[in-house]
């Protein structure tokens, strides 16, 4: 565990000294800011209208109209942002031959992978924290339900874990960061499409596809529900991605 | 200390090393010698647990590098062919990271870093970003990284490559100092370096060992026949002809004007004859001495012979 943290700490240092991190964070914050602004605007417009129409303040649901969709949009933005964060994890180490330092040190491959995972998770959590001004403002200015906000963040966090473990897998396949990012997008979009295809497929296949889709499982969290099957899905997804990463790195040593 | 048996490694269909077997005792300094692509780096990578071999076994202090890899890695400091440097890190931070990675406890890491900075004369650059250092300084940071946990065994793949002559001498001295308390394996293209530092050499060519021996015995073993060097003040076209005409000379080559190397039969003792010839013709002898066969010659001879034998 100590080794995991040593590796994570170094990776964090290199994130914070790289322009990639700052540009990705800026883009993320701008995109999310726009989404939030639009949602908030249409909400106030709608509530202004209902106010005028009915003459009384019946209170539109802030959770349903702003918070829920803003989490959904955040999930989409993250899909594009996270491969850019994970791409360098192994690709860069392989390219600059620094992987030899890790491999010749008394550190397990599992610890290396977990260290990278941890570093990426911390970086993305930081980005989400910076975007938290939006929800913070709503909590301050309106009266949203706090429960769904907390479970929503938990869901997004778990989903981020899935993206990161896919991204790490992509990065383990190559020593080229761009290729790692492209493969990362590819896998993430593919899994996204599974959920979309579920609606078109027949009832049985549809159910399976829907279970496999990342986004379906997010819905419950956004509604304020923590379902053990959703938790199990996300956690096993993450573990599976890390397991594949491990297999790839281990077998590449044998070649 | 290090026992290598029947070690082979293939990259896909390409065989990089084939049935290497050798042993290295505690405290030895062994030179790994071979032309480009001989398999030196491959062997060193296997010894330092970077990658497993295709077959064969390596035992380091009784630990198997494949099965007890973590224990083995604690004993080894490794400088790969390309120093494993994070170009975005400050040198001293990098060394601290390496120390922590190599199980140096955090309260001792600082002094460990200071020591290697001192040893590898990195004081001036320890606060600079590695990517902006010159190649030689980067190499030194790479060496420092291998020393950081004071390992029993040091594996250095071409440690002096890219260094200036003064640094080369310093690093050699450093390696010689370390030799008293460490087992060291190093590969190098600079042959005199091996002569100076190593007591024993392992010469490999095309993935196979062609010689494992101490330097002295290699030199004597290979000196079948003598070579003399003659320097004269005045020479003309006939000089070489006259030398060739002497009994017992096999080959005479004019290296530069007035300097000849004369290969002759073993125990020929033709110095007298050459001196007389020179006096008679009034060449003006500057120097007449036996040429010691350098490691370079041995190296060429061994690796070339090996190739000739092959079908
Ligand atoms: N990753 C790899 N994939 C395929 N072949 C490789 C790989 N690494 C090395 N080889 C091949 O294995 C052989 C031995 O290479 P190695 O790097 O061990 O040689 P070397 O003795 O270190 O050479 P040099 O003096 O140039 O450093 C070479 O023929 C090389 O082409
Ligand atoms: Mg090499």
- State the complex-level ipTM: 0.88
Give the global pTM: 0.84
User: Under an 8 A CB cutoff, do A3 and B101 touch?
Assistant: yes
Q: Is B166 exposed, middle or buried (0-12, 13-18, 19+ CB in 10 A)?
A: exposed
Distance from C-alpha of B120 to C-alpha of B174, rounded to nearest angstrom:
8
- For A89-103, B29-43, B125-139, B264-278, which range has the lowest pLDDT when averaged over its residues? B264-278
Q: Whose CA is nearest to atom 28 of ligand 1?
A: B37
Closest listed residue to residue B140, CA positions, set B94, B105, B99, B75: B94
Q: List, for residues B5-63, the tens digit of each pLDDT value.
A: 999 999 888 889 999 999 999 888 999 888 888 899 999 999 998 988 989 999 998 89
Pocket of ligand 1, candidates B12, B33, B41: which has the most ligand atoms within 8 Å of its Cβ, to mutate? B41
Q: Which residues of B touch A253 (CB under 8 A)?
A: 50-52
pLDDT, mean of residues B68-79: 92
Q: Is B232 exposed, middle or buried (0-12, 13-18, 19+ CB in 10 A)?
A: buried
Domain annotation for chain B: domains and CATH numbers: 2-219 (3.40.50.300), 225-291 (3.30.70.100)
Q: If pLDDT is split at 50, 70 and 90, which confidence band does B298 have?
A: low
Distance from C-alpha of A153 to C-alpha of A62, rounded to nearest angstrom:
16
Q: Has residue B308 got a pLDDT over 70?
A: no
Q: Which residues of A touch B86 (CB under 8 A)?
A: 10, 14, 96, 98
Q: If pLDDT is split at 50, 70 and 90, which confidence band does B223 have?
A: low
Segment (H or E) for B277? helix B271-281
Q: What is the pLDDT of residue B59?
A: 92
Q: Which residues of B touch A107 (CB under 8 A)?
A: 101
Q: What chain A residue is nearest to B70 in terms of C-alpha separation? A: A106
Mutate one of A5, A97, A100 to test the B interface: name it (highest B CB count within 10 A).
A100
Distance from C-alpha of B153 to C-alpha of B75, rounded to nearest angstrom:
6
SS3 state at B182: coil
Q: What is the pLDDT of residue A145?
A: 84
Q: Whose CA is nearest to atom 29 of ligand 1?
A: B37
Of B296 and A43, more confident: A43
Distance from C-alpha of B122 to C-alpha of B96, rounded to nearest angstrom:
14
Could you list the mean pLDDT of each consecutive 10-residue stretch along chain A, which spans 255 residues? 93 92 94 92 82 65 84 91 94 94 94 97 94 87 85 93 96 94 92 79 78 82 88 94 95 79
Q: What is the pLDDT of residue B218?
A: 66
Structure tokens at B67: 């099965």
Q: Which residues of B touch A14 (CB under 8 A)?
A: 86, 88-89
Ligand 1 atom at minimum distance from B42 CA: 18
Structure tokens at A210: 């829907």
Q: If pLDDT is split at 50, 70 and 90, which confidence band does B309 have?
A: very low
DSSP category for residue B291: P
* Spacing, Cα B40 to ligand 1 middle (Å): 8
Q: Has residue B224 got a pLDDT over 70?
A: no
Distance from C-alpha of A128 to C-alpha of B65, rounded to nearest angstrom:
44
Of B268 and B54, more confident: B54
| Domain residue extents for chain A | 2-253
Q: Has residue B311 got a pLDDT over 50?
A: no
Scan for tokens 């874990």, then name that residue. A161
Q: Whose CA is nearest to atom 22 of ligand 1?
A: B41
Ligand 1 atom at minimum distance from B35 CA: 25
Bridge partners (DSSP) of residue B200 are B30, B214
Of B128 and B273, more confident: B128
User: Under an 8 A CB cutoff, do B89 and A101 touch?
Assistant: no
Q: What is the pLDDT of residue A178?
A: 94
Looking at the complex, does the CB of residue B109 fall below 8 Å from at least one CB of chain A? no
Find all residues with CB under 8 Å of A154, minimum gap 6, and list them: A221, A226
Q: What is the pLDDT of residue B296?
A: 61
pLDDT, mean of residues B185-203: 81
User: Under an 8 A CB cutoff, do B84 and A97 touch?
Assistant: yes
Give CA angle at A155 (A42, A19), nearest 5°.
80
Q: What is the pLDDT of residue A7?
A: 96
Residues with CB under 6 A from ligand 1: B 11, 14, 16, 34, 36-42, 81
Total residue length of chain A? 255
Q: What is the pLDDT of residue A182?
A: 95
Scan for tokens 């640094």, then name that residue. B167
Q: Indicate the residue of B74, B86, B103 with minimum beta-carbon distance to A98.
A: B86
Q: List, for residues B155-189, the tens digit of each pLDDT value.
A: 999 988 878 888 888 888 888 888 888 899 999 87
Q: What is the pLDDT of residue B222?
A: 56
Average pLDDT, chain B: 84
Q: What is the pLDDT of residue B310?
A: 38
Of B2 and B189, more confident: B2
Give CA angle at A43 (A39, A48), nearest 5°.
155
User: Under an 8 A CB cutoff, do A101 and B103 touch?
Assistant: no
Q: Which residues of B touch A17 (CB under 8 A)?
A: 88
Q: What is the pLDDT of residue A81?
A: 93
Ligand 1 atom at minimum distance from B45 CA: 18
In chain B, how many H helices and how many E strands?
11, 14
Mutate one of B47, B53, B80 to test the A interface: name it (highest A CB count within 10 A).
B80
Residues in chain A whose Cβ is within 8 Å of chain B? 3, 6-7, 10, 13-14, 17-18, 96-108, 253-255
């Amino acid at each position: 565990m100590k080794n995991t943290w040593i590796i994570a700490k170094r990776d964090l240092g290199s994130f914070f000294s790289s322009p990639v991190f700052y540009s990705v964070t800026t883009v993320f914050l701008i995109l999310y800011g726009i989404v939030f602004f639009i949602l908030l605007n249409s909400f106030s417009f709608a509530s202004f209208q209902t106010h005028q129409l009915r003459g009384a303040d019946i209170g539109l649901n802030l959770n349903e109209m702003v918070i829920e969709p803003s989490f959904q949009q955040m999930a989409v933005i993250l899909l594009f942002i996270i491969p850019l964060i994970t791409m360098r994890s192994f690709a860069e180490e392989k390219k600059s031959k620094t992987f030899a330092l890790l491999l010749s040190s008394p550190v397990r491959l599992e610890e290396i992978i977990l260290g990278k995972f941890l570093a990426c998770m911390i970086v993305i959590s930081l980005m989400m924290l910076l975007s938290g001004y939006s929800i913070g403002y709503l909590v301050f200015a309106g009266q949203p339900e706090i429960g769904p906000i907390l479970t929503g963040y938990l869901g997004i966090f778990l989903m981020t874990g899935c993206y990161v473990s896919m991204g790490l897998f992509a990065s383990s396949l190559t020593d080229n960061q761009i290729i790692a990012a492209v493969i990362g997008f590819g896998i993430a979009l593919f899994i996204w499409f599974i959920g979309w295809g579920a609606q078109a497929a027949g009832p049985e296949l549809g159910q399976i596809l829907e279970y496999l889709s990342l986004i379906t499982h997010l819905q419950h969290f956004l509604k304020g529900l923590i379902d053990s099957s959703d938790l199990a899905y996300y956690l096993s997804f993450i573990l599976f991605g890390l397991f594949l990463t491990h297999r790839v790195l281990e077998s590449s040593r044998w070649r | 200390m290090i026992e290598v048996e029947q070690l082979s490694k293939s990259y896909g269909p390409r065989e990089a090393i084939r049935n290497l077997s050798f042993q290295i005792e505690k405290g030895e300094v062994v030179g790994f010698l071979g032309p480009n692509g001989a398999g030196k780096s491959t062997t060193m990578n296997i010894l330092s647990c970077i990658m497993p071999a295709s077959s064969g076994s390596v035992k380091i202090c009784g630990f198997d590098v494949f099965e007890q890899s973590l224990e083995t890695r604690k004993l080894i400091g490794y400088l790969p062919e390309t120093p494993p440097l994070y170009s975005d890190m400050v040198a001293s931070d990098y060394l601290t990271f390496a120390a922590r990675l190599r199980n140096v406890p955090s309260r001792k890491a600082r002094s460990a870093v200071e020591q290697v900075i001192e040893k590898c004369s990195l004081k001036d650059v320890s606060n600079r970003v590695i990517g902006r250092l010159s190649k030689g300084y980067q190499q030194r940071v790479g060496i420092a990284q291998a020393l950081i946990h004071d390992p029993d065994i040091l594996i250095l793949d071409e440690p002096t490559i890219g260094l200036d002559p003064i640094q080369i001498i310093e690093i050699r001295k450093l390696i010689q100092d370390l030799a008293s308390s460490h087992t060291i394996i190093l590969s190098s293209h600079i042959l005199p370096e091996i002569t100076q530092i190593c007591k024993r050499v392992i010469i490999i060519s095309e993935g196979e060992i062609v010689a494992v021996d101490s330097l002295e015995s290699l030199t004597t073993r290979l000196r079948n026949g003598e070579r003399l060097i003659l320097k004269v003040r005045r020479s003309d076209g006939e000089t070489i002809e006259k030398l060739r005409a002497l009994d017992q000379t096999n080959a005479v080559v004019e290296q530069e004007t007035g300097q000849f190397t004369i290969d002759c039969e073993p125990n020929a003792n033709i110095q007298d004859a050459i001196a007389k010839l020179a006096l008679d013709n009034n060449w003006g002898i500057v120097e007449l001495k036996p040429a010691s066969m350098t490691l370079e010659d041995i190296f060429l001879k061994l690796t070339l012979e090996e190739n000739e034998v092959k079908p």
